[in-house]
């Protein structure tokens, strides 16, 4: 990190090369692996909280490269033909798209200066963001800027529901594609389908400890972090020196060594200075100690109140003062029964009443949303650097939704339950039993077909595409919100076996064993009494359902794919053979193939929306 404003560590200069221990992976996240292959790119990433703070730090980084000969002022450390730099914003608010839009403009202007010593523009960016951005933006549609469920459904089609259920089951899900902006965009868009998840559900999603290197003192204490403002700006670069396996050594006098070692980090019991509140006071918090990673693993799997007490310290709103935190803690006895009841799921209008969850520690609405998925060691890492690879097998990590561009992540299939290859819209689930659990029911197939048909119709009109309510981004989120509310309401009903079978009996049984279900079920949510407790697409089996099921089976089973490949290769061979032995033979085979294709299409033409 060449420059940071304010300094990442108090008492050090803006150009200090020193990084807080918790943020040692910052340079590798802000300047992604393989960045030299692209002229520019954008990264969303999550950092663990600093000592004394309890919430995720949301990072947005804009990367660009420029030819060294184009620089007006060429500094001594520029020895290569191109200069690669990232301008990065660290925020307490998950305003990914909004931060990206502002940051891209500033990064472009910064590079147009062609003199990287002109850092005043970065300071102005910091002041502008802190004066214009606030937590009120979390309640509007701007929090979803740049995240398009419409594009997601167009690309993944009915598989979007499989991704949705995978995360509900808290499985280890790895997204894979290059460049990074396509990766993080797809991953965060999937999460935006969960009500309230982006706004308030990720505050505990990056509670991990970086691997300790041999050369560092295990007892090193960091200075008090400055978190009194919402945004911090950092500038990372890669101009002349490289490391193996995609690592980076920062140029010049501001170098950071990303050393790797196998020594686990065991947190010792210390009292740290907390985040400085807006009124200048400092709240001192005591970080709970854990003797070893093994003991923390058992903590993740239990709902014992003594272990969950630490959730009282977590707040969904980052700018709360110490006094406001005390008021929130004192209101823990508040019953959710006093909350207003909303009959139908609405688009996000900014009028939702939120209260701190007694167990989850998240800001929850009257339905218990967001679900406590990304808590207690279930990580959300939109982009993972190669240096974080050890987290996939860390015993203190019970699961993850992570994104990667390095092929090494994809090759080690044993470390994940599912790999989502975004380029091909392919969801690879390794365990046959899990595939069976996630196999969509007839009602699920109707739901997915309903989504795809509404998204794909009227796409020819370039002026109206995506601008209407039905088939638009907000509409798709409302459909998934209604689906999840119906599932929750169905679970609460007595004698609900028939109703739950529409969601998948095996799926519901697996979901009831997850941490997020147990946390949600531990509280009462009377607002769900007004929600229809049946699948949105329940109904009698029909001929159209047979076509849906056949189309889904052919296009998603290995046998169906093999049949399709054989038909394609056979048709090529037949045509070539026909040309060699005479047009009559070729014509006969071609006619037979056409007849076969037309017969097959009768099963699929009514459901083209379910294709890969």
Count the Cβ atoms, other than its own, within 10 Å of residue 332. Answer: 11
Helices (H), 457-557: 473-492, 497-501, 505-511, 515-521, 543-556
Instruction: Tell me what pLDDT residue 471 has.
Output: 82
Higher pLDDT, 332 or 236: 236
Instruction: Tell me what pLDDT residue 564 has.
Output: 56
Count of CA atoms in the C-beta half-sphere (13 A) of 492: 21
Using CA atoms, how far residue 74 sits from 78, 79, 117, 192, 301, in Å, is: 7, 9, 10, 43, 55
Instruction: Tell me what pLDDT residue 439 has.
Output: 93
pLDDT digits (tens, 9 = 90+) for 77-108: 776 778 889 999 999 999 999 999 999 999 99
Instruction: Tell me what pLDDT residue 342 has.
Output: 33
Residues 6+ apart with CB under 8 A from 562: none
Higher pLDDT, 473 or 281: 473
The angle at the Cα of 50, spanning 227 to 98, to the nearest 5 degrees, equals 55
Looking at the 3D structure of the chain, how many domains does it have? 1
Give dist(CA 165, CA 163) in Å, integer.
Answer: 5
The angle at the Cα of 385, spanning 380 to 389, to the nearest 5 degrees, equals 80
Domain that residue 49 falls in: 1-146
pLDDT digits (tens, 9 = 90+) for 133-164: 888 888 888 899 999 999 999 999 999 999 99
Helices (H), 20-115: 26-30, 96-112
Residue 98 falls within a domain, yes or no?
A: yes
Nearest to 364 by CA among 319, 330, 324, 317: 317
Mean pLDDT value across residues 156-173: 96
Task: Give burial (CB, 10 Å; 0-12/13-18/19+) of 424.
Answer: exposed
Q: Is the pTM of this model over 0.75?
A: no
Instruction: Tell me what pLDDT residue 428 has.
Output: 95
Residue 482 falls within a domain, yes or no?
A: no
Give dist(CA 549, CA 440) in Å, integer.
Answer: 9
Residue 340 pLDDT grade (very low, low, confident, very high; cuts 50, 70, 90): very low
Residue 274 pLDDT grade (very low, low, confident, very high; cuts 50, 70, 90): very low
Residue 14 pLDDT grade (very low, low, confident, very high; cuts 50, 70, 90): confident
Please, what is the end-to-end C-alpha distance for the chain in angstroms?
43
Instruction: Tell me what pLDDT residue 309 has.
Output: 39
Residue 69 pLDDT grade (very low, low, confident, very high; cuts 50, 70, 90): confident
Using CA atoms, how far residue 551 sits from 307, 541, 560, 603, in Å, is: 48, 16, 9, 7
Which of 356-365, 446-455, 590-599 shows the lowest per-residue confidence on average (mean pLDDT)? 590-599
Give dist(CA 277, CA 285) in Å, integer.
Answer: 13
Instruction: Tell me what pLDDT residue 329 has.
Output: 39
Q: Is the pLDDT of residue 565 over 70?
A: no
Cβ–Cβ < 8 Å for 342, 485: no
376-396 CB burial, b ≥16 within 10 A, e <16: bbbbbbbbbbbbbbebbebeb
Instruction: Tell me what pLDDT residue 80 has.
Output: 73
Residue 467 pLDDT grade (very low, low, confident, very high; cuts 50, 70, 90): low
Cβ–Cβ < 8 Å for 89, 60: yes
Residue 45 falls within a domain, yes or no?
A: yes
Residue 465 pLDDT grade (very low, low, confident, very high; cuts 50, 70, 90): low
**DSSP summary character for residue 242:** B
Q: Is the pLDDT of residue 479 over 80?
A: yes
Higher pLDDT, 465 or 180: 180
Give dist(CA 550, CA 445) in Å, integer.
Answer: 11
Q: Is the pLDDT of residue 117 over 50?
A: yes
Q: Is the pLDDT of residue 268 over 80?
A: no
Give dist(CA 100, CA 104) in Å, integer.
Answer: 6
Look up residue 149 and give its two tokens. Answer: 């469920």
Instruction: Tell me what pLDDT residue 495 has.
Output: 86
Question: In 3-state terms, what secondary structure has residue 95?
Answer: coil
Residue 129 falls within a domain, yes or no?
A: yes
Give dist(CA 149, CA 162) in Å, integer.
Answer: 14
Give the distance from CA 595 to its chain's centroid.
46
Q: Is the pLDDT of residue 459 over 90?
A: no
Residue 221 falls within a domain, yes or no?
A: no
Residue 2 falls within a domain, yes or no?
A: yes
Instruction: Tell me what pLDDT residue 281 has.
Output: 39
Measured in degrees and rounded to the nearest 5, phi and psi for residue 98 equal: -65, -45
Higher pLDDT, 7 or 213: 7
**DSSP summary character for residue 265:** P
Please report the DSSP string for 410-471 in residue order.
Answer: HH-GGG-SEEEETTTTEEEE--HHHHHHHSPPHHHHHHHHHHHHHHHTTTT-TTTTTTSSTT
Higher pLDDT, 308 or 549: 549
pLDDT digits (tens, 9 = 90+) for 578-597: 455 445 445 544 554 554 45
Most confident of 32-41, 176-185, 263-272, 277-286: 176-185
Give dist(CA 403, CA 6) in Å, integer.
Answer: 29
Identify the bridge partners of residue 425 per DSSP, sorted by sequence position: none
Residue 261 falls within a domain, yes or no?
A: no
Residue 118 falls within a domain, yes or no?
A: yes
Question: In 3-state terms, what secondary structure has residue 61?
Answer: strand
Q: Is the pLDDT of residue 466 over 80?
A: no
Higher pLDDT, 46 or 244: 46
Beta strand pairing call for 3-5 and 231-238: antiparallel
Instruction: Tell me what pLDDT residue 546 has.
Output: 57
Task: Give burial (CB, 10 Å; 0-12/13-18/19+) of 540.
Answer: exposed
Using CA atoms, how far residue 152 sits from 185, 192, 250, 392, 570, in Å, is: 9, 11, 36, 26, 33
Instruction: Tell me what pLDDT residue 303 has.
Output: 45
pLDDT digits (tens, 9 = 90+) for 406-445: 999 998 889 999 999 999 999 999 999 999 999 999 999 9
| Helices vs strands, H then E, count in the chain | 20, 14
Residue 604 pLDDT grade (very low, low, confident, very high; cuts 50, 70, 90): very low
Instruction: Tell me what pLDDT residue 597 has.
Output: 53
Cβ–Cβ < 8 Å for 234, 254: no
Q: Is the pLDDT of residue 113 over 90?
A: no
**DSSP summary character for residue 610:** G
Cβ–Cβ < 8 Å for 199, 94: yes
Give me the chain's average pLDDT, please. Answer: 73
């Amino acid at each position: 990190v060449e420059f940071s404003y304010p300094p990442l560590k108090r008492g050090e200069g803006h150009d200090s090369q020193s990084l807080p221990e918790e943020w040692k992976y910052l340079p590798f996240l802000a300047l992604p692996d393989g960045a030299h292959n692209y002229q520019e790119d954008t990264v969303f990433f999550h950092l663990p909280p600093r000592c004394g703070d309890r919430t995720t730090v949301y990072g947005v980084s804009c990367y660009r490269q420029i030819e060294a000969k184009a620089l007006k002022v060429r500094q001594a450390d520029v020895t290569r033909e191109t200069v690669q730099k990232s301008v990065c914003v660290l925020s307490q608010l998950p305003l990914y798209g909004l931060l990206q839009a502002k940051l891209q403009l500033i990064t472009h202007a910064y590079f147009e200066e062609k003199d990287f010593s002109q850092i005043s523009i970065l300071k102005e960016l910091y002041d502008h963001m802190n004066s214009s951005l606030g937590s009120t933006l979390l309640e509007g549609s701007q929090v979803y800027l740049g995240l398009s469920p419409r594009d997601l459904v167009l690309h993944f089609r009915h598989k979007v529901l499989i991704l949705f259920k995978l995360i509900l089951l808290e499985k280890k899900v790895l997204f894979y594609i290059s460049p990074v902006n396509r990766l993080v965009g797809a991953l965060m868009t999937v999460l935006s389908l969960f009500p309230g998840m982006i706004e308030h559900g990720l505050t505990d999603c990056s509670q991990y400890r970086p691997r300790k290197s041999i050369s560092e003192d295990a007892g090193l204490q960091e200075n008090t972090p400055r978190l009194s403002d919402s945004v911090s700006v950092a500038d990372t670069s890669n101009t002349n020196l490289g490391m193996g396996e995609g690592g980076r050594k920062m140029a010049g006098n501001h170098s950071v060594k990303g050393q790797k070692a196998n020594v686990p980090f065991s947190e010792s019991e210390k009292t740290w200075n907390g985040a400085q509140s807006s009124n200048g006071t400092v709240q001192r918090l005591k970080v709970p100690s854990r003797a070893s990673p093994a003991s923390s693993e058992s903590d993740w799997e239990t709902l014992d109140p003594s272990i969950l007490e630490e959730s009282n310290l977590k707040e969904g709103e980052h700018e709360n003062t110490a006094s406001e935190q005390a008021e929130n803690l004192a209101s823990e006895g508040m019953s959710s029964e006093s909350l207003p009841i909303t009959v139908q799921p609405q688009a996000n209008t900014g009028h939702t009443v939120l209260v701190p969850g007694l167990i989850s520690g998240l800001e929850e609405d009257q339905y218990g949303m967001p679900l406590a998925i990304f808590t207690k060691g279930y990580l959300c890492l939109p982009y993972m650097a190669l240096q974080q690879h050890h987290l996939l097998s860390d015993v203190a990590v019970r699961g993850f939704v992570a994104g990667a561009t390095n092929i090494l992540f994809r090759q080690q299939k044993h470390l994940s339950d599912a790999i989502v290859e975004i380029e091909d819209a392919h969801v690879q689930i390794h365990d046959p039993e899990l595939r069976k659990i996630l196999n969509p029911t007839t009602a699920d197939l109707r739901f997915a077909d309903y989504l795809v048909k509404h998204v794909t119709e009227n796409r020819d009109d370039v002026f109206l595409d995506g601008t209407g309510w039905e088939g638009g981004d907000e509409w798709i989120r409302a459909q998934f919100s209604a689906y999840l509310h119906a599932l929750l309401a169905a679970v609460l009903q007595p004698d609900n076996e028939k109703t739950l079978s529409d969601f998948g009996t095996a799926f519901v049984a697996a979901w009831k064993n997850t941490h997020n279900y147990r946390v949600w079920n531990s509280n009462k949510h009377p607002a769900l009494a007004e929600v229809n407790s049946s699948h949105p697409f329940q109904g009698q089996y029909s001929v159209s359902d047979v076509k849906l099921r056949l189309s889904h089976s052919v296009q998603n089973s290995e046998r169906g794919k093999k049949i399709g490949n054989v038909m394609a290769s056979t048709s090529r061979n037949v045509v070539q053979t026909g040309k060699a032995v005479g047009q009559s033979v070729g014509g006969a085979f071609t006619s037979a193939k056409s007849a076969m294709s037309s017969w097959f299409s009768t099963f699929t033409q009514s459901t083209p929306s379910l294709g890969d």
